[in-house]
Amino acid sequence: MPHPIMFDEADPLLARVRSLALAFPGAAEKISHGRPFFHTKTAFAVYGGSAKPGGTPYPRSVIVKPEPEERLALLEEPYTYLPAYLGPAGWVGYDLDRDDVDWDEIGELLDMSFRVTAPATLVRELDASAP
């Protein structure tokens, strides 16, 4: 039985995340578990999730896999959360449903997650395209 869709296709925050995520070399989007997953060989970002413990929903958030040394510092921020299911594997959720989102930071988090998860050939391609 497929998962129900848990996002609004017309959500402007999703559109912004989508434009940032799909700009990476080899990046694509698929719907998995009812949510948009951005991936190359494996996922590097998910739009929407819930916190663990308690299951608090964060439907307008982005979940990324930061470098291990950055993870604990990110989790100390008031707008981040430990995502259910992915949190134990090193992922961090970032709540976007607020007025003061720093989109440069979101771009940096997506870049870090891409570098942590993407094949080395795509990371080299990203580096080669940098100004």
Residue 52 has a pLDDT of 82
The rounded distance, in Å, linking the Cα atoms of 63 and 95 is 9
The reported pTM is: 0.95
Res 54 pLDDT > 90: no
Strands (E), the chain: 28-32, 35-39, 43-50, 57-64, 80-81, 92-95
CA pair distance 118, 27, nearest whole angstrom: 9
CATH of 12-121, one of 3.40.50.2300, 3.90.550.10, 3.90.1150.30, 3.40.50.460: 3.90.1150.30
What pLDDT, on the 0 to 100 scale, is given for residue 3? 85
Q: Supply the pLDDT for residue 1.
A: 67
Q: Domain locations in the chain?
A: 12-121
